[in-house]
Amino acid sequence: MDHFLYRDGELYAEDVPLREIAATVGAPFYCYSAATFTRHFQLFDEALDGMEHLVCYAMKANSNQAILKLLGDQGAGMDVVSGGEYRRARAARVPGDRIVFSGVGKTEDEMRVAIESGIRQFNIESEPEMEVLSRVATSMGTEVPVTIRVNPDVDAKTHEKIATGKAENKFGIPISRASEVYALAANLPGLKVIGIDVHIGSQLVDLDPFRLAFRKVADLTEQLRAEGHEITRLDLGGGLGIPYERSNADPPLPRDFGQVVREEVGHLGCEIEIEPGRLIAGNAGVLVSEVIYVKQGEDRQFLILDAAMNDLIRPAMYGAHHDILPVKEPAPGEEPATYDIVGPVCESGDTFAKHRQMPAVGVGDLVAFRSAGAYGAVMASEYNSRPMIPEVLVQGDQFAVIRPRPTFDEMINRDIIPSWL
């Protein structure tokens, strides 16, 4: 469920017409619903009810500080994967003891800044990383809590670019070597090994791979405990998918995911962490764009929008589907049109949808890409020297620009022409 619905013939974000926001900030722009973010976070929180837990929002999905503040105020923790994300979370006043640090390539500088300013745990992904963290923590005269990310060699049955739990992927240590690696970690100064971490991929629409992975983690917990390790925390990652196409069968809900967690690892008495990103942010955002031209090709009509692949790269990068709706509600019984929906960027990959049936629209009309709240704005670039588009947050009947559109001068003046040219 989300809060982008037609009302009085036009699409609203909560109680604000998207048309009104467009008139204020100009198209294209991202628009987020605070109520949807909050609701999705709460669904996960409730799904783990009865188990000691922390929902650590994977902020890579959408890292605007307004969103982090909104979720942080609800009690969310954060899953960060870079020094930049760590600093952003802290700038949004998320306490350090609610931040977990994931990622395969943490640098010494990133470790140091997180230790200095406060961290809940590091999720370690390799032996070399473990040794560096041990050295950094020891040099700072401290001991840091760590989990070790295991790669369970489970097929997540998702797009190959976002699957992470197979042996061929770069993530985690092979679960078959866990015993050896935990023994090594236990002997390193500056590290306090407290748990196990796993994350098998993103946009999973089937619970079976989760179940398989969590079962392997449960077995490993018992094995490591028998080997003398104190395993008190399990970080089970993120990855629950969302319904990008309204017409498709609905994927499982957070409460179904919670049930799998309970069944597979509930008996171990561990504190549970999860790292959902997409399910919290995805359907909490739309991308609003204006039709610039409708162009007749040889055998098709092109809808040329003012948004492009640099603003929303998911269709170009993963062949991802986003529903695209007119902001003005179509009249009942209106004949749909068929378009190739494209942006102005100079490559054919700048295509949002091919042969897409949708209500007919014309020049100057606004359209909304649904499910654009996750991995939308965060993956945007200035390719073709197109300034990053603004982000707007709606709460009830109020809205605010939470990241303005830079001026052309702001974008251009970052370059420096050396004096010797």
Pairing of the two strands 77-80 and 99-101: parallel
Binding segment (CB under 6 A) for ligand LLP, from list 36-44, 54-62, 106-114, 178-186: 54-62
Query: Rounded to the nearest whole angstrom, what is the least distance from the CB of residue 96 to ligand LLP in the complex?
Result: 19
Q: Is 275 in the site for ligand LLP (CB under 6 A)?
A: yes
How far out from the chain centre does Cα 253 lie? 17
DSSP SS3 for 218:
helix
Query: Rounded to the nearest whole angstrom, what is the least distance from the CB of residue 352 to ligand LLP in the complex?
Result: 14
Backbone dihedral angles phi then psi of residue 138, each to the nearest 5 degrees: -65, -40
Binding segment (CB under 6 A) for ligand LLP, from list 66-74, 89-97, 215-223, 236-244: 236-244
Query: Rounded to the nearest whole angstrom, what is the least distance from the CB of residue 219 to ligand LLP in the complex?
Result: 21
Q: Is 120 in the site for ligand LLP (CB under 6 A)?
A: no
In the shown chain, the binding pattern of residues 77 to 116 toward ligand LLP, with x for contact by CB under 6 A and - for none, equals --x----------------------x--------------
Q: Is 375 in the site for ligand LLP (CB under 6 A)?
A: yes
Identify whether the C-beta of residue 323 lies closer than 8 Å to the C-beta of residue 370: yes
Query: Rounded to the nearest whole angstrom, what is the least distance from the CB of residue 322 to ligand LLP in the complex?
Result: 11
Interface residue with ligand LLP, options 140, 162, 207, 268 (CB under 6 A): 162
Q: Is 237 in the site for ligand LLP (CB under 6 A)?
A: yes
Nearer to ligand LLP, 275 or 350 (CB): 275
Q: Is 202 in the site for ligand LLP (CB under 6 A)?
A: yes
Q: In sequence order, what DSSP letters do the residues of 255-319 get, joined into one string?
A: HHHHHHHHHHHGGG--EEEE---HHHHGGGEEEEEEEEEEEE-SSSEEEEES--TTT--HHHHH-
Interface residue with ligand LLP, options 77, 276, 285, 390 (CB under 6 A): 276
DSSP SS3 for 240:
strand
**132-151 per-residue burial string, b: 16 or more CB within 10 A, e: under 16:** bbbebbeeeeeebbbbbbbb
Q: How far apart are CA 239 and CA 413, in angstroms?
A: 39
Q: How far apart are CA 133 and CA 125, in angstroms?
A: 11
Binding segment (CB under 6 A) for ligand LLP, from list 271-279, 304-312, 329-337, 407-415: 271-279
